[in-house]
Structure 1
Amino acid sequence: MRDSFDVVVIGSGAGGAPIANRLVRQGKSVLVFDKGPLLRPDYEVPGRRSDYRRDELFSSGAEKILRVPGLANAGVSYYSSHVEPDINDEPHVYRGPDNRDYGTIEGYTAQVVGGGTQLYGGVSLRFTPTDLRLKSFNEQRRSPLKDDPAGDVKREARDWPYDYATLEPYYAMAEELVGICGTNDNQQKPFTSGNRYQPPLQPNPISAYANDGMAELGRRLGSNIEPYRTPLAVITRDHAPSGRKIPRDAAGNPDPESAKTSYVNRYGDPLGLKSNTWVSLLGPVAREAGFEIRPNCVVTHLSSQNGRVTQVHYLDPGGIARTVSGRIVVVACSAIESVRLLKLSAAQDDDFDRRINQNPLLGRYFLTHCFGGARALMPGRFDKSKALDADWATDCCATDEFLEANNLWAGAAIYNNTSDQALPLSLFRTHGSQDLDTLWNGFMSDVGMRADGFIKFLDDEFGRGLSISFMANQVPQFDNRIELHPTVKDKWGRPVAYVIKTWHPHDRYLMDTMARQCGNVLRYGGDPVGRNYPIQGQGAIYMAENALARMANHILGGARFGTDPKDSVLDPQNRAWEFDNLYVTDGAFMPTSGGANPTLTIQANAFRVADHLLTRV
């Protein structure tokens, strides 16, 4: 096998695939590693039978028992799909509120080529200009912050080393090359490069309540900001950059509405309509002479000499230790695992250790998102199996005026979850659950879920539930961090990732504020006359029993970029400061987590870094 490339990319998701796509198309040689398998859609498989299985539909397979010694939750049952790691082999460990250590599958989006883009909901929102300048905004703000008595926000917030105008053309590039549908009217972000969205599909009828409620919320807040169709990573027209085609009906006409199955967004998509990074960016260059992908390979560590990464060490699918080299090495295996890889490398290589730890920040300022929302049972019953993930979104809680009026440090995107609990199976799976480790737990523990109670639950819930969600910036904290666990090791004998995090008091205030606005969307939308429709509840993730584990699969921070080598791990081009050829391009680079789902921003930044790399190779 070839053992030397222009660029070696570790990770095939949102942070790695854009770099590989851009450089291969410019004639460079690129090797992409992924720990998981390559699952192909049906049009790439002879006989048109895709590689996808359907156990991710209910995240099960057989019940498993956590058997990792030394963990407080050893002995509990858990369920995982075929694209998630067995946490007996390589758990993530987090420190609970009782200071004991717990194993969790949280922080793994998917262990498969394409990473989290294979299973994510596809919500592809841009960050606002203020999201990239929260230090400046809060230093200049007119109103005081709520619940920040020690002044942590002003001390710990950081502006990004570039502004929104710099990133905007790369947002447009990602929207076009990845393949995203939606509308830009009413978004409170500039689209100076033009609208690159494909048109959205018709919304599910239940989403009319969300649309009405969001419009009324904008009026009540005084901004009159109207909702817009949520940008989703799903193609609705033939997509020239990737060569993907929309299904045809019996007469041979394009039938984009056939994408609305409630599975395209939430689960592996055998049709290739969801724009995961394999079908949109890597598959289209797979036959190019310069491209190679090695799935089912575990990169164990990097070694360096004089500030250059000289070897990438990995285990091939048979467990044989091998090495490759690259003029450039890009780490993009999701923030927790990227930080872990850098720390494992430092533990084995003095030169690497001295350079990556030139300041104490590697692993620090780990971020997820403040998230939560509200839910109600709406009038009528709707076929939610014919839906995509989110139909409507609003930016009315992301404006500077809203932040000043509500004493908030940062804003949030709000959108509805159309396909939540679309089938009875998903109603039962998530009923009362706390995280991925305890799916089915609430259902199995609910002694009233039998006989007439079972029928009543179905009759009340099925086809009527509508939820509204928010995503918002988490306050950066130095002590929120990723370490190597001192005793727990994976099946290869390497220390596993140890996640230590808390919620800042302002995080809780922010989440309470945003959850109330999500509840108002349902109150205003469900009752257009009285505007006080009853909701089942509203809240945020910090209220959950295992809130410190929950990450919304938005794994960010831990290797933030900046302009000062004493205050950041990476430079403005995402290069590790003391290295000539080491870059980190997944969500680890973010100094703040943004007021929206992060995948599109990770992709846009990766395209930006790719243009920089083209000047070097």
Structure 2
Amino acid sequence: MNQEFDIIIIGSGAGGAPIAQEMVKKGKSVLMLEKGPLFQPQYLSDSGVSDFRRDELYATGPEKKITLDVSNKGEPYYSSHVEPDLNDEPHIYRHGGAVEEDRATLEGYTAQVVGGGTQLYGAVSLRFAENDFKLKSYNENRGYNLNGDPNGDVDREVRDWPISYQDLEPYYAKAEELIGINGTYEKQGKPFSSGNKYQTPLAPNPISQFVKNGMEAKGMDWYRTPLAVITEDHQPSGRKAGYAKTGYVNRYGDPMGFKSNTWVALLAPIKDEPNFDLRCNCTVTLLKSENRKIKEVVFLDESGETQTAKGKVVVVACSAIESTRLLMLSAQHDKNGFGKIVTQSGTNDLLGKYFLTHCFGGAETTVPGKYDKSISLDSDYATDFASSESFMKEKGLWAGAAIYNNTSDQALPISLARTHASQDIDTIWKGFVKNWPESGETPGVGEDLSRWIGNNFGTRLSVSFMANQVPLKGNRIELHPNVKDKWGRPVAYIIKKWHEHDRYLMDTVSSVCKDILIAGGANADRLGSGGVYLSENSRARIANHILGGARFGDDRNDSVLDKDCRLWDADNLFVTDGSFMPTSGGANPTLTIQANAYRIADILIQKYLN
């Protein structure tokens, strides 16, 4: 096999696939290394049967027990076939409570499979608001006091992006067209200067009328939620549209290829090109440097043998936690080489710091009547009401939020437990055995379980929000001092807390979500609302929006990456997953990661691979 390439890309998700696609089109030789397997949809499978088993998010395999030396040792968990085994490759997080303790979790693993988290996401593909790119400047001139920030942490810690919305706008449009997204842009609170690239959305599920009516009653402009699911034939990828309106498209691997994950949308169209080499089931272990360049990428191939490859450019895009961990492991292994590159003045001690997720939450209740929610995509209606400056000023917020309904949430019987009591994916079955609303009895099994499903299935509706989390240096990724993975390497250690203003923001915006449901005619007496900080395992809850840890900027003393997403003191190393974000944005991050990856692809051609 060829071991020298123009560019090596580690990770096949939102941060890596757009770059691979563009490089191949430009005639550059590309090696893409993906830790997980390649699962095909039906139309690409030789057998005509999809590789997805529809248990990707709902772990339905045999029960296992945590054997690691952590506080939740002995607890049961259920691995799916696109996640690592928790005992082999855990993430460890510091759990709050009367006593701080370390717990193992699968949170933070979006999916180990070609396409990464885009294989499983609900496909909500919102642009960030203009203000999300300049929150330092905005807050310096906001003219009002913030609620829940007595120490001025926002003013001290927030940073503007080194690029503006206008810089990224043409790349948003490019991503929307090449990936395949349906929705409407009228009444979105941001400009579409490159024009409308959306496909036409499907008719909304009838249950969503309660949300639309509620938004209108509260005076909110609404639009059809942009979703990365094709509703028309998609010429760039050669996919044919079909009956995509089913609950199996979201939160599962899509067996039909309608959901625009990065495999079917961007990589499958180039899979047979002679200058594209996709190697699956390969675990990258080290980046080796010489002077200011990465000279070799070391990885374990699918047989477990150590291999090396060389690239003129190396792109790391294996999700913020694992990308940060890879850089740290490489620095630890070679303290005088790559270690010095990482710890030069440009990066200071910032690698791993300012880890971000999202403030998220919402409101949920039942509605009159029953609806077939399996015939739905993930969301029908969205509003930018809570991202307006007038709303932020009225509520004393530092940043805004996107609000949208979850049409497909709890659309299938087993998924009623997915969000019941906000359970971690490690402990999904707890949703069936605690906090039972009808009888108060535990466990919820037998007739109790049957009655609960009958009373709730097809009646539940939720409205969610995504908002910026206050960036704090103390929120960070480290290498755990004791716990190691199956290869003997320190695992990622997630240390994170919610700021007081985060909690206030979540309370404030979840109340707006509640108001929408009430105004729309949903059942007010069964209404629950709140932010994720209220959940039992709130510090681990990160919505698979894994951001920060290697923020980019214009000041080499205040960022890990430069404006091009290049490590300041490495001439050929780039990080393009969510790690680069200095703030987490007031919406789902996937589209912004993809748009930025297209921006970086242009920069690589113009400045580094010309």
Q: Could you state the TM-score of these two structures normalised by the residue count of structure 2? A: 0.96
Deviations 1:6-57 (A, max 9, x none): 0000000000000000110111111101100001111111231122123226
| Equivalent position of 2:578 in the other structure | 587
Partner Cα separation in structure 2 for residue 474 and residue 57 of structure 1:
25
Partner Cα separation in structure 2 for residue 449 and residue 311 of structure 1:
54
Q: Which moved more, 1:59-68 or 1:470-479?
A: 59-68
Partner Cα separation in structure 2 for residue 399 and residue 566 of structure 1:
32
Partner Cα separation in structure 2 for residue 442 and residue 53 of structure 1:
22
Q: Is 1:519 matched up with 2:514? A: yes
| Equivalent position of 2:196 in the other structure | 195
- Secondary structure of the residue aligned to 1:274 is coil
- Unaligned 5+ segments in structure 2 are 437-441
| Equivalent position of 1:575 in the other structure | 566
- Secondary structure of the residue aligned to 1:71 is coil
Verify the 8 A CA contact 2:247 2:378 in the aligned structure 1. yes
| Equivalent position of 1:407 in the other structure | 396
Q: 2:604 aligns with which of 589, 607, 613?
A: 613
Verify the 8 A CA contact 1:374 1:535 in the aligned structure 2. no
| Equivalent position of 2:167 in the other structure | 166
Q: Is 1:48 matched up with 2:43? A: no
Partner Cα separation in structure 2 for residue 501 and residue 432 of structure 1:
21
Structure 2 matches for 1:318-329, cutoff 5 A? 318-329=303-314
- Secondary structure of the residue aligned to 2:482 is strand
Q: 2:321 aligns with which of 333, 336, 343?
A: 336
| Equivalent position of 1:422 in the other structure | 411
Deviations 1:102-149 (A, max 9, x none): 000000010001000000000000000000000000000011111111
Aligned-pair distance for 1:453? 3.0
1:40 counterpart letter in structure 2: Q
Aligned-pair distance for 1:559? 0.1
Verify the 8 A CA contact 1:522 1:535 in the aligned structure 2. no
| Equivalent position of 1:39 in the other structure | 39
Q: Is 1:351 matched up with 2:351? A: no
| Equivalent position of 1:246 in the other structure | 241
| Equivalent position of 2:62 in the other structure | 62
Verify the 8 A CA contact 1:262 1:384 in the aligned structure 2. yes
Partner Cα separation in structure 2 for residue 448 and residue 300 of structure 1:
44
Q: Which moved more, 1:125-134 or 1:38-47?
A: 38-47
Partner Cα separation in structure 1 for residue 159 and residue 354 of structure 2:
11
Verify the 8 A CA contact 1:41 1:271 in the aligned structure 2. yes
Q: Is 1:468 matched up with 2:478? A: no
Verify the 8 A CA contact 1:374 1:469 in the aligned structure 2. yes
Deviations 1:199-234 (A, max 9, x none): 1001100001111112222x2xxxxx4110000000
| Equivalent position of 1:253 in the other structure | none
Verify the 8 A CA contact 2:55 2:252 in the aligned structure 1. no
2:456 counterpart letter in structure 1: E
- Secondary structure of the residue aligned to 2:385 is coil
| Equivalent position of 2:254 in the other structure | 269
Verify the 8 A CA contact 2:270 2:276 in the aligned structure 1. yes
Q: 1:360 aligns with which of 340, 349, 352?
A: 349
Verify the 8 A CA contact 1:430 1:440 in the aligned structure 2. no
Partner Cα separation in structure 1 for residue 418 and residue 133 of structure 2:
37
Partner Cα separation in structure 2 for residue 430 and residue 174 of structure 1:
30
Q: Which moved more, 1:438-447 or 1:377-386?
A: 438-447
Verify the 8 A CA contact 1:207 1:416 in the aligned structure 2. yes
Aligned-pair distance for 1:400? 1.1
Verify the 8 A CA contact 2:422 2:535 in the aligned structure 1. no
Partner Cα separation in structure 1 for residue 80 and residue 7 of structure 2:
32
2:30 counterpart letter in structure 1: V
Aligned-pair distance for 1:422? 1.1
- Secondary structure of the residue aligned to 1:160 is coil
- Secondary structure of the residue aligned to 1:553 is coil
Verify the 8 A CA contact 1:262 1:419 in the aligned structure 2. yes
Q: Is 1:150 matched up with 2:183? A: no
Aligned-pair distance for 1:323? 0.3
| Equivalent position of 2:111 in the other structure | 110
| Equivalent position of 2:90 in the other structure | 91
| Equivalent position of 1:510 in the other structure | 505
2:556 counterpart letter in structure 1: P
Verify the 8 A CA contact 1:525 1:533 in the aligned structure 2. no
- Secondary structure of the residue aligned to 1:311 is strand
1:606 counterpart letter in structure 2: A
- Secondary structure of the residue aligned to 2:491 is strand
1:110 counterpart letter in structure 2: A
Query: Stretches of 4+ moved more than 6 A in 1?
Result: none
1:4 counterpart letter in structure 2: E
Cα gap change, 1:67/1:245 in structure 2, threshold over 3 Å: closer, same or farther? same
Verify the 8 A CA contact 1:411 1:473 in the aligned structure 2. yes
Verify the 8 A CA contact 2:432 2:443 in the aligned structure 1. no
Aligned-pair distance for 1:545? 1.1
| Equivalent position of 1:250 in the other structure | none
- Secondary structure of the residue aligned to 1:266 is coil
Partner Cα separation in structure 1 for residue 412 and residue 55 of structure 2:
15
2:212 counterpart letter in structure 1: N
Partner Cα separation in structure 1 for residue 449 and residue 569 of structure 2:
61
Verify the 8 A CA contact 1:433 1:440 in the aligned structure 2. no
Partner Cα separation in structure 2 for residue 235 and residue 429 of structure 1:
26
Verify the 8 A CA contact 2:35 2:283 in the aligned structure 1. yes
Partner Cα separation in structure 2 for residue 105 and residue 454 of structure 1:
27
Q: Over aligned residue pairs, what C-alpha RMSD do you find? A: 1.2
Verify the 8 A CA contact 1:429 1:443 in the aligned structure 2. no
| Equivalent position of 2:269 in the other structure | 284
> How many residues of Structure 1 are paired with residues of Structure 2 in the alignment?
596
Aligned-pair distance for 1:610? 0.2
Q: Is 1:382 matched up with 2:401? A: no
Aligned-pair distance for 1:458? 2.1
- Secondary structure of the residue aligned to 1:614 is helix
Q: 2:362 aligns with which of 360, 370, 373?
A: 373
Partner Cα separation in structure 2 for residue 544 and residue 505 of structure 1:
16
Aligned-pair distance for 1:434? 2.0
Q: Is 1:444 matched up with 2:433? A: yes
Partner Cα separation in structure 1 for residue 325 and residue 446 of structure 2:
49
| Equivalent position of 1:255 in the other structure | none
Deviations 1:235-260 (A, max 9, x none): 0000000011113xxxxxxxxxx211
- Secondary structure of the residue aligned to 2:297 is strand
Aligned-pair distance for 1:533? 3.7
Partner Cα separation in structure 2 for residue 400 and residue 137 of structure 1:
10
Structure 2 matches for 1:453-464, cutoff 5 A? 453-464=448-459
Identical aligned residues as a percent: 60
Cα gap change, 1:138/1:429 in structure 2, threshold over 3 Å: closer, same or farther? closer
Verify the 8 A CA contact 1:121 1:265 in the aligned structure 2. yes
Q: Which moved more, 1:555-564 or 1:437-446?
A: 437-446
Verify the 8 A CA contact 1:204 1:387 in the aligned structure 2. yes
Q: Is 1:480 matched up with 2:466? A: no
Deviations 1:544-585 (A, max 9, x none): 111001100000000000000100000000000001000000
Aligned-pair distance for 1:156? 0.4
Aligned-pair distance for 1:430? 4.5
